[in-house]
């Protein structure tokens, strides 16, 4: 079933995103959060993959229509992200999904890549009763601050050994902080992998075997912790 662009409420305003339903027509909720490039076709494809696996998926447009293929421009868009507005958009996306009649879960999962990995954790912080599980793929955003001691969502972390943005020590420190708060974790650093290795539109860093393993780990973790 082909996905579509939908609008949802965002604290009195509106936001939009790419919405995809599973072949069965119903399933648990997952929010798919973009890399710094914007809501590009790759992220829509990831939402479609989740739908194919039985999830009701929504990829919110965190840049409100802006996207790019140029790293310099992507960096500027990431740093220009209004964090307060992002919190509203994430909370709105979660609420929209959970209110959909096709959604069968009481809570939502959140997954994000690069910038989106940090925003997926942020979604769990701003919607603590609604997001019960997070998948963070090499997440980084220097302006998104989270009190991990209050984080209750279970977190599956996927990181790359050769990552200058979110190196293995950052992953280790993050897992330690989340564990200290009492949340369940499953973190893995992929040996020899580069930042962005899950993105199959970037042949310079894409790693098919690691992507397959990370995808299966994420699905298993979501199914174990999504209520």
- Residues with catalytic roles: 114, 163, 195
Rounded CA separation 96/133 (Å): 17
Pairing of strands 13-20, 56-60: antiparallel
Helix axes 83-99, 115-126, angle to 10 degrees: 70
Rg (CA), the chain: 16
Which residue is it, tokens 């040996």?
Answer: 191
Structure tokens at 20: 């995809």
Which residue is it, tokens 């409420």?
Answer: 9
The answer to whether 77 and 63 are in contact (CB under 8 A) is: yes
Q: What are phi and psi of 195, to 5 degrees?
A: -55, 130
Structure tokens at 224: 């174990």
- Burial (CB count <10 Å: 0-12, 13-18, 19+), residue 98: middle
Phi-psi region of 8 (alpha: psi -120 to 50; beta: other; left: phi over 0): beta
């Amino acid at each position: 079933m082909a996905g579509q662009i939908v609008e949802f409420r965002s604290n009195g305003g509106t936001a939009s995103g790419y919405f995809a339903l599973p072949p069965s027509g119903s399933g648990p909720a997952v929010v798919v959060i973009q890399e710094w490039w914007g809501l590009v076709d790759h992220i829509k494809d990831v939402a479609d993959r989740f739908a194919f696996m039985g999830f009701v998926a929504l990829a919110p447009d965190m840049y409100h229509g802006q996207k790019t293929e140029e790293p310099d421009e992507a960096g500027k868009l990431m740093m220009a992200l209004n964090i307060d507005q992002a919190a509203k958009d994430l909370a709105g996306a979660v609420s929209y999904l959970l209110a959909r009649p096709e959604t069968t879960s009481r809570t939502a999962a959140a997954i994000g890549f690069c910038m989106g990995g940090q925003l997926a954790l942020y979604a769990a912080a701003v919607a603590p009763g609604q997001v019960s599980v997070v998948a963070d793929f090499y997440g980084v955003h220097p302006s998104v601050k989270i009190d991990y001691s209050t984080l209750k969502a279970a977190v599956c972390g996927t990181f790359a050994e050769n990552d200058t943005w979110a190196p293995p020590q950052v992953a280790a420190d993050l897992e330690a902080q989340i564990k200290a708060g009492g949340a369940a974790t499953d973190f893995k650093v992929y040996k020899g992998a580069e930042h962005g290795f899950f993105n199959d539109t970037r042949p310079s860093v894409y790693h098919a075997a690691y992507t397959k393993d990370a995808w299966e780990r994420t699905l298993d973790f979501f199914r174990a912790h999504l209520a």
